[in-house]
Amino acid sequence: MSASVRVFVPGDASALSLGAERTASAIARQAASRGVDLELVRTGSRGMFWLEPLVEVEIDGGGAPWRIAYGPVAATEVEGLFAAGFLQGGAHPRRVGAPEALDWFRRQQRLCFERVGVVDPRSLTDYLAHGGFQGLRRALELAPAQIVQEVTDSGLRGRGGAAFPTGIKWQTVHAAVAAGGADPASAAGTAGAFVVCNADEGDSGTYSDRMLMEGDPFCLIEGMAIAGLAVGARQGYIYLRSEYPHARRALEAALAAARDSGWLGGPPGSGRHFDIALRIGAGAYICGEETALLDSLEGKRGQVRVKPPLPAIRGLFGRPTLVNNVITFASVPVILARGAAFYRDFGMGRSRGTLPIQLAGNLKRTGLVELAFGVTLRELLYDYGGGSASGRPLRAVQVGGPLGAYLPQAQFDTPLDYEALAAVGGMLGHGGIVAFDDSVDMFEQARYAMEFCAAESCGKCTPCRIGSVRGIEVLERIRAGVDREANLDLLQDLCDTLRHGSLCALGGLTPDPVRSALAHFPEDFVAPHVDHPGGGHARIG
Amino acid sequence: MKRSRPNPATAPSDRLPAAAAAAVHAAIDAQHGQPGALLPILHAVQDALGCVPPDAVPVIAHALNRSRAEVHGVLSFYTDFRSTPPGRHVVRICRAEACQARGSRALEAHAKARLGIDYGQTSEDGAITLEAVYCLGNCGCGPSVLVDADDLRAGITPAAFDALLRELDGACA
């Protein structure tokens, strides 16, 4: 045990974008010039972006060490921190106290994100010291069917957005492997099943996958290894979007460490023979759709497949394939370690457990809040988020990414629960909440939804590929007042065609932001548009 | 997928410059052992050369025993891949909703006007290639910009964008 003081600075992409690297370098330089023996640990982010770069120092408080945080700390303020004796927790205007004691943090229920911002994501020792691999250890003592049962009993639903019951998906793959177990190994070595992690987190307003992969990558690896045991797979893939270079480095380091220490890629029969390959996407939103993702992994254009067959029956390279989102896999270790009942006791209705909620857009305090299902939008936007960053009234929020509905103030009391949001025409999706102040032009947001669909359509379904382009044109005619009533009818008709004539959610749900914008904010769809001086160009003061 | 043996008689005539050809072959050798190797190969080629030159397509197609049309189809499907090298710096502006809510529409207009180019184009002096990106996962800190491989920037107002250009210009000199 070294006697040096431990100082923690996030290496998370958002923290870096706010200057964490410069702050960390300044700390190292100051320590060197003052001859202070200091161990600089790079962590994930606690998810309080208004405090980033957040610097924490470990204090030896007699019993267990605890941490005092300072934030946001610019590189130029580091010298002052040293002068104020921050290594001993000294007083300073940037001192915010123990991070866990902050109101924002204390009210959260962090299961999935328990270690994020706390541990060194590259250190397996740190992971093990904070409860890592306890879920996998327990899984190794269970029969595959018992693991599946545990996940089923937890009530976990797919966190990627579709909210399909995870246990049922696992059971389907498990059964498909059992039924096809006699299949000879093919030339490509693709016998058995595959476990695929969908890390193509493309929805605007969502970044929980990124934060988890950067801040606690071993948790994802552990969840996938448990899945491998449950469904009888020996090969896993993580399909990571190329827009996440920091997550890529964190995963590469963690995968190498897990292999070196025998948690992955062990000898057959050890229960640890499962291995994971990391694959990088190439800038296609549609590859977040699971069948397009599988085609992309196979080296093809990322085009959506017709279902059935379900990927659980015939997925990657024609084998039974379990595809889950990062947060779904990362929720599994705690379920195995602490039991299905522990997890199921969080939440409401049919939405069990916790959800890492991401506050984004025009809010004073953005960041990650992990809570049991049931918290209302209003609590999140105002209690946690602190209202708009611009100081203007909030006008609309979009929940669930670019395919989610826009909700007006009148719906801010909706609880975050899959069914409750669906009941008001919304979608919880991956748990991203994007807030807009009253300078937003909702016509422009509706137009953008169609534009995004046109840009990202894989092209397989005509309603999505061409209907989205027609949608932009119809919207523009509506705004210009050309045959207004007829074009409003046409827009609704077009939206019906998109919804019912598309294979996947991109074409199927693009109507949701468009229709909700039109339904709740019809005044923005009238020309000439002079009501909102911002003209959709919100500015953060 | 068809898995017939490659026919030496149809081997692509290698029209790439020697150095580029070596990079393409190295990428193929390093990646082609894995199933579904096309994307990893294309990434490796682009990492080495800054782009995937059109003349690399027949070489890759031949190595994977796929048609040139298939490889071209994959190459052209994904927005990351380019057929010509970019400018000295690639600046990607996030166009997605969370950044819009924090002012990215004004940033986009400013950046295009300032550089005199649209998305997908390179400034006349070859310094900056401007690209649109749909979400960088920095949704609480926008408007966000990604510079080159991994230099993520938060809160890019039009003034901050101008400062960024000066910084990159200095880095180029």
| pLDDT of A141 higher than 90 | yes
pLDDT at B9: 45
Share of chain A above pLDDT 70, in %: 94
Contact assignment for B81 to A282 by CB distance below 8 Å: yes
DSSP B135-165: --S-TTS-S-EEETTTEEE----HHHHHHHH
Domain A124-344, CATH number (from 3.30.70.1250, 3.40.50.11540, 2.30.36.70, 1.10.3720.10): 3.40.50.11540
pLDDT at B73: 97
Q: Are B152 and B136 in contact (CB under 8 A)?
A: yes
Q: Over range A11-39, report the average pLDDT.
A: 97
pLDDT at A188: 41
pLDDT at A3: 64
Fold of A5-102: Glutaredoxin (3.40.30)
> Which residues in A161-183 are b (16+ Cβ under 10 Å) and which e?
bebebbbebbbbbbbbbeeeeee
Q: What pLDDT band is residue A528 in, cutting at 50, 70 and 90?
A: low
> Which residues in A476-508 are b (16+ Cβ under 10 Å) and which e?
ebbbeeeeeeebbebbeebbebbbeebbbbbbb
Q: What pLDDT band is residue A540 in, cutting at 50, 70 and 90?
A: low
| pLDDT of A263 higher than 80 | yes
Domains in chain A: boundaries: 5-102, 124-344, 347-437, 442-525
Region A347-437: CATH code = 3.10.20.600
**Contacts A293 to B, Cβ<8 Å:** none
Q: How far is B71 from chain A (nearest CA, A)?
A: 8
**A221-239 per-position pLDDT tens digit:** 999 999 999 999 999 999 9
Contact assignment for B39 to A539 by CB distance below 8 Å: no
| pLDDT of A286 higher than 80 | yes
Q: What pLDDT band is residue A143 in, cutting at 50, 70 and 90?
A: very high
Region A442-525: CATH code = 1.20.1440.230
**Contacts B60 to A, Cβ<8 Å:** none
| pLDDT of A4 higher than 90 | no
Domains, in order of start, for chain B: 8-77 (no CATH), 89-172 (3.40.30.10)
**Contacts B38 to A, Cβ<8 Å:** 299-300
Q: Over range A48-75, report the average pLDDT.
A: 93
**B88-139 per-position pLDDT tens digit:** 999 999 999 999 999 999 999 999 999 999 999 999 999 999 999 999 999 9
Q: Mean pLDDT across chain A, nearest whole number?
A: 94
Contact assignment for B101 to A436 by CB distance below 8 Å: yes
| pLDDT of B3 higher than 60 | no
Counting Cα atoms < 13 Å in the Cβ hemisphere of A216 gives: 32
**B136-164 per-position pLDDT tens digit:** 999 999 999 999 999 999 999 999 999 99
Whole-prediction pTM: 0.95
